[in-house]
Amino acid sequence: MKALKSFGLVMVLALALAMGAGCAKKNDEVTTDSAVSGSSMEAINAAAEQITNGIVYFDFNKYDIKSEYRAVLQQKADLMKQYPSIKVRIEGNCDARGTQEYNLALGERRARAAYDYMVRLGVPADQLEMISFGKERPAVMGSGEKVWSQNRRDEFNVIAR
């Protein structure tokens, strides 16, 4: 009887190991099938870096895209259309003046302006999201127009590749 219990325990363990090995093989196949080649990943990473670079700045109390930044957004849009796996968060920011509520709303309008412009350029909306940080994340500390002008901006952060 004791030998039968030991044999049963060995069989249960062997079955569990066999099932685990089968699952591991299946997962390996899925990973291999869906893996991106090294050169493709390098291209995606380079595109993501280009998208992250290039800040869009705004005039005081404004949220319209100035003509000088349209080419910046066009380049980002072209890369995002070429690499649909890339997803970007547009972050609207303001300078230190104004109330927190006002700056959160203005930062959202700035992020929305870039979002809408990129969608018009053909970027699928599901590749973009937006957030407003208002005046909570200054790029430069201090006061005066030179500092404030650097804080009135949209930044672009890649959140998925």
SS3 70: helix
Q: Where along the chain do its domains lie? A: 1-33, 40-160
DSSP 86-138: -EEEEEEE--S-S-HHHHHHHHHHHHHHHHHHHHHTT--GGGEEEEEEETSS-
Is residue 54 within 8 Å of 72, Cβ to Cβ?
yes
* pTM across the whole model: 0.76
- Arch. (CATH architecture) of 40-160: 2-Layer Sandwich (3.30)
Work out the mean pLDDT of the chain and round it to a whole number.
85
Q: pLDDT tens digits for 69-109?
A: 999 999 999 999 999 999 999 999 999 999 999 999 999 99
pLDDT category at 127 given cuts 50, 70, 90 is very high
Cβ within 8 Å of residue 95, ≥6 positions away? 60, 135, 138, 147, 148, 149, 151, 152
Rounded to 5 degrees, φ, ψ at 82 are: -70, -35
Residue tagged 């005081």 (tokens) = 60
What number of residues does the chain have? 161
- Say which amino acid occupies 116: D
pLDDT category at 24 given cuts 50, 70, 90 is very low
Residue tagged 């869906």 (tokens) = 34
